Amino acid sequence: MTHLVQLNDTPLALDDPALLSAAGYGHFTSMQVRDGKVRGLDLHLDRLDRSSRELFGHGVAADRVLTYLRTALASSPSGDLSIRVNAFTRDRSFIDGTPVEPDLLLTLTDPIEPTSEPPRLLAVEHERTAPHLKHTGTFSLTHEIRRARLAGYDNALFYNRAGHVSEASIWNICFAVDDRIVWPAAEVLPGITMLSLRAALDVARETVDIPLSALGDYRAAYLTNSIDPALPVASITSPAGSTEYKPDPASADLIANAYLRIPWQEI
């Protein structure tokens, strides 16, 4: 079969046009690299292996990933950058259950700085397919971000059909109450930063159902991912009403100090 790939009115030269169609099914992990080191590197490697076993029936060895990461770093003029590792396959036999070792596509970009302003979130009912996987099916996430911005907000927060908070579009979320940090019990993507913070926090931490009606019971809310380890939330608007959060130095320091305790790991 002949493949022709054309961008607008210009044909593109691709050695393997099947890459375009194959990239629709797969998973990825994104990491912030500083001086050739990554926080939670072991968790990124575990995510790639575990998710590949589930989606392709074949894991990805940590040594293989590290070799590719080191090759990518060697080609970069700086040890400070962002790296995204996509796992996918051009071998369609995986659909029938044949174990297939996935390809890995590494994308290197400039380092991403943390978000500067506390976002105003619009809560929408949305449940991701296979939420435990960081999969490439991100259409719905982008769609909800766009809808939130068109409505005058900065981003979207998700709640499930039971009316319980789960996660934000590209972040996990946690809440501060008394001397505790609380995480939603709803199904979410177990983010690398979330897992690392849970292990590093030296205060009581809980995982509980958080109904929309209870958002006002918390002193503060924080978004967490590899870019924003503790991004304070300005407000959440939901069908239950609007909740505004004031700066809370005590809980912000707790999370920031926990993040600093997460060790850097050499690639």
Is a pLDDT exceeding 60 seen at residue 1?
Answer: no
Secondary structure (3-state) at 222: strand
Considering the entire predicted model, what is its pTM? 0.93
Output the pLDDT for position 4: 67
Q: Give 2's pLDDT tier (boundaries 50, 70, 90).
A: low
Secondary structure (3-state) at 181: strand
Instruction: Work out the mean pLDDT of the chain and round it to a whole number.
Output: 94
Output the pLDDT for position 5: 72
Identity of the residue numbered 237:
T
Is a pLDDT exceeding 90 seen at residue 45?
Answer: yes
In tens, the pLDDT along 54-95 reads 999 999 999 999 999 999 999 889 999 999 999 999 999 999
Distance CA 205, CA 201 (A): 8
Is a pLDDT exceeding 80 seen at residue 21?
Answer: no
Residues 6+ apart with CB under 8 A from 155: 119, 120, 121, 122, 145, 148, 149, 168, 169
In tens, the pLDDT along 97-116 reads 999 999 999 999 999 999 99
